[in-house]
Structure 1
Amino acid sequence: MKITVAGVGYVGLSLAVLLAQKHDVTAITTTQSKAEKLNQFISPIQDDEIERFFKETREGKRKLNLYTTTDKEAAYKSADLIIIATPTNYDDVNHFFDTSAVEDAIEWTFKVNPDVLMVIKSTIPVGYTEHVREKYGVKNIIFSPEFLRESKALYDNLHPSRIVVGCDDDQKEEGEMFADLLLEGAREEEKRSNSQEQ
């Protein structure tokens, strides 16, 4: 499956690495220098597991099908699934989440790949998914909250305490498919660890 992940912070990068064990993953960043670093498997954030995975990839001990780009159009156009993990900083003065980066990802997707499933993994206010579905007149946007610790995000994805996907009844199949993708990535690392121990 071709998966595009918008955002390479703790949430986006950990998901991209998790899924790149089994799928072709394209990560999107707005910073060219960050893309260049990531394409050499050098992490721009401090996360022990991401750094371990990248080191093993550079040494040829692990294969990650991960490419990072600043070309939004190409990344969104080729995807079978889009995960939106862009920042949504909370404004303490005005008391709202800045969801402009999430909506930028949604709008780019509608321009070039309107029917693809989008999963929002960003922190968003209650009712936001329903709001954007109504705003854009679509149903192919679902939400999956993240339960990740900073600097331990990939570890938490590899050892999930729970996976939650919010969707309507008519999207149950898509929701289950996304949950299965996350479990598959965790199980892949489990299999790898067990085979190395033998």
Structure 2
Amino acid sequence: MLGFGIDFGTTNSVAAVFDGRELTSFVDNNGRPHPSVLWFRGSEKPIIGRKAKDKLRDFGNIPGNQFIKSIKSQIKQETEIEIFGKNYHTWQVASEIFSFLKEDAVRGYPDYPEIKEAVITIPLYFNGQQRKAIRKAADNANIFVKSFIHEPFAAVIGYLFSNSNSIENLKTVKENILVFDWGGGTLDITLVKLDSGTISEVRANAS
């Protein structure tokens, strides 16, 4: 059974799939996550990711082009953004990134035709209204949010599943792990208890 995850970040975003044995991240051609940058050109579908970021310097001040960065930071402010004379909710703009990540994952995993649901990472400080906005963005991209997971906690899971050897070794380890999550202007810290290869307790969170 496949499980999809989406890391919707302020600076970069990426989708991944876990098939029960291996974790695959859908990165760009340079092996890096996709920049959370949108490039709007009139009524055309926005260009998202590395190409949008690379063209920001050349087209950022040219009429007929509009770039949006750090939409995740804006989504928590519940504001609207004007794009060529029309106002959009921040979650509507964010949904374009979710659609892009969905399409990117399907290209990278052609045997699975569509992402219908996904686990999505969120910062520790996101409140109910902000989670609702993320749900709206994902839903607008036809992705059901199966659950949210805090970003530092997701980092621990990524560490545990980084390779099969580490998982085998960790089965005998009992210790606390302190996770530092540097985001786009934020720093979240989580202390978790590791017991025989599983996360038995989240002991503390701080932002």
Q: TM-score, normalised by structure 1?
A: 0.33
**Greater strand fraction, Structure 1 or Structure 2:** 2
Using CA pairs below 8 Å that are at least 6 residues apart, which structure has the higher relative contact order? Answer: 1
**Greater helix fraction, Structure 1 or Structure 2:** 1
> Larger Rg: 1 or 2?
2
